[in-house]
């Protein structure tokens, strides 16, 4: 039995009537850009993130770019982040003219290590971008405690709705940081039918600056206080996301259940290390990522059996050709480099059947002869 890494059609089938009805209403109204549907989505996402403000934008990459601009990051500034993330995190830093400065990861969670981050901060550091990788929050509390002078842009593209216990409080992705950013790329737990993004913040001034920056830097049509971007969210995406929102918690819980099923099956294996979730965190498992021995051979074998898998991420960002100018060499971030060689992500989407999970487990076990 073939098992894809992700089956968006299975999810669409469960919500088709709601989504298509809402999309057709927008088509009939012919009101496609921003507008009331986007405002309703902003309100809903602010609510689920426990933040005061949410600003829709074109995608998760722009959400980072706009956030950096809203914090007045410019040429010559340094922004600390992790090299073990999707390219957009560092690409956005480069594209505002700042310098990405990397720090190594915690080998358990794959998230940025607060100690490593602290060690690379200089006078030029303007902000830090921890990434909530694969669905669990980065230690934003420890980062804020170690670096209280720095604003935090939490790249929560993969972690909408995930939580972390900070003191006595359970906080949501984006809630405890200066700014939180989300992506609605179709493969995310809350994915649109195209690109989309959102920025959340508790700060009213940042919120109004972000609203301005997403429409060419002006709040009054044809008057521009600063140079911004065209980064508006489509009403069509907003209604898809609004139709999906009531299901988000259930879908993320189903992913957790699938993760537990895999964890039990792989427990005790000397070749497979199951994901480590910080005890303070509840993950939404945007990815289920193992560390394994003979990773490339395993992936080849899974492919032959029709089982989808992916390597997030095979080359850490400090070693990407485009960042050669930053001067990092192999060995600079040993944990990130080791993770890049060992990780593999397996199908985890909510609609997986037990038979499909067993198929994946069987294929991994067969490979290791266990």
Ligand X SMILES: Cc1ncc(COP(=O)(O)O)c(C=O)c1O
Q: Which residue is nearest to ligand X (CB)?
A: 60
Q: Pick from 78, 155, 234, 359: which binds ligand X (CB under 6 A)?
A: 155
Q: Pick from 56, 60, 139, 192: which binds ligand X (CB under 6 A)?
A: 60
Query: Strands 272-273 and 288-292: what pairing?
Result: antiparallel
Please report, for residues 58, 127, 174, 178, 357, the alpha-carbon distance to residue 67 in angstroms, rounded to integers and kept in the order given: 13, 10, 12, 10, 39
Return the closest-CA partner of residue 6 out of 344, 308, 343, 245: 308
Per rule CB under 6 A, is residue 116 in the interface with ligand X? no
Point out which span in 72-80, 109-117, 154-162, 246-254 binds ligand X (CB under 6 A).
154-162
Site string for ligand X, 6-45 (x = CB under 6 A): ----------------------------------------
Per rule CB under 6 A, is residue 158 in the interface with ligand X? yes
CB of 118 to ligand X, least distance (A): 22
Q: Is 127 exposed, middle or buried (0-12, 13-18, 19+ CB in 10 A)?
A: buried
Q: Pick from 49, 51, 89, 109: which binds ligand X (CB under 6 A)?
A: 89
Site string for ligand X, 128-147 (x = CB under 6 A): ---x----------------
Q: How far apart are CA 88 and CA 95, in angstroms?
A: 10
User: What are the structure tokens assigned to 296, written together?
Assistant: 């490339």
User: What are the structure tokens assigned to 191, written together?
Assistant: 């994915």
CB of 60 to ligand X, least distance (A): 2
Per rule CB under 6 A, is residue 189 in the interface with ligand X? no
Q: How far apart are CA 231 and CA 240, in angstroms?
A: 18
Point out which span in 3-11, 40-48, 83-91, 102-110 binds ligand X (CB under 6 A).
83-91
CB of 82 to ligand X, least distance (A): 9
Residues constituting the chain: 370
Q: How far apart are CA 245 and CA 232, in angstroms?
A: 20
Count of CB atoms situated within 10 Å of the CB of 187: 14
- Positions that interact with ligand X (CB under 6 A): 59-61, 85-86, 88-89, 131, 155, 157-158, 183, 185, 195, 197
């Amino acid at each position: 039995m073939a098992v894809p890494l992700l089956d968006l059609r299975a999810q669409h089938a469960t919500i088709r009537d709601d989504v298509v009805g809402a999309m057709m209403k927008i088509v009939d109204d012919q009101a496609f850009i921003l507008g009331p549907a986007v405002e309703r989505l902003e309100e809903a996402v602010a609510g689920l993130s426990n933040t005061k403000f949410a600003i829709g934008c074109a995608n998760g990459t722009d959400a980072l770019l706009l956030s950096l601009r809203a914090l007045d990051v410019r040429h010559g500034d340094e922004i600390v982040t992790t090299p073990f993330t999707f390219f957009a995190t560092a690409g956005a830093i480069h594209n505002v003219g700042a310098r990405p400065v990397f720090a190594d990861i915690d080998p358990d969670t794959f998230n940025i290590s607060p100690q490593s981050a602290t060690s690379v901060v200089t006078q030029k550091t303007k902000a830090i971008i921890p990434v909530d990788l694969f669905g669990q929050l980065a230690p934003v509390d420890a980062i804020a405690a170690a670096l209280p002078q720095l604003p935090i842009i939490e790249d929560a593209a993969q972690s909408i709705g995930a939580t972390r216990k900070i003191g006595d409080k359970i906080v949501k992705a984006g809630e405890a940081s200066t700014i939180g950013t989300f992506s609605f790329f179709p493969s995310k737990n809350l994915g649109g039918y195209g690109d989309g993004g959102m920025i959340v913040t508790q700060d009213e001034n940042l919120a109004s600056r972000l609203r301005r920056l997403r429409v060419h830097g002006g709040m009054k049509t044809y008057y521009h206080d600063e140079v911004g971007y065209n980064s508006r969210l489509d009403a069509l995406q907003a209604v898809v996301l609004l139709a999906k929102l009531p299901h988000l918690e259930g879908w993320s819980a189903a992913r957790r259940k699938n993760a537990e099923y895999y964890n039990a099956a792989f427990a005790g294996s000397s070749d497979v290390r199951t994901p480590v979730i910080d005890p303070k965190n509840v993950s939404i498992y945007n990815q289920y990522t193992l560390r394994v021995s003979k990773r490339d051979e395993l992936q080849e074998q899974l492919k032959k059996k029709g089982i989808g898998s992916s390597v997030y991420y095979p080359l850490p960002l400090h070693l990407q050709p485009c960042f050669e100018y930053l001067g990092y060499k192999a060995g600079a971030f040993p944990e990130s480099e080791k993770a890049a060689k060992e990780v593999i992500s397996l199908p985890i989407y909510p609609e997986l059947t037990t038979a499909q999970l067993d198929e994946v487990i069987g294929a991994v076990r067969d490979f290791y002869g266990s």
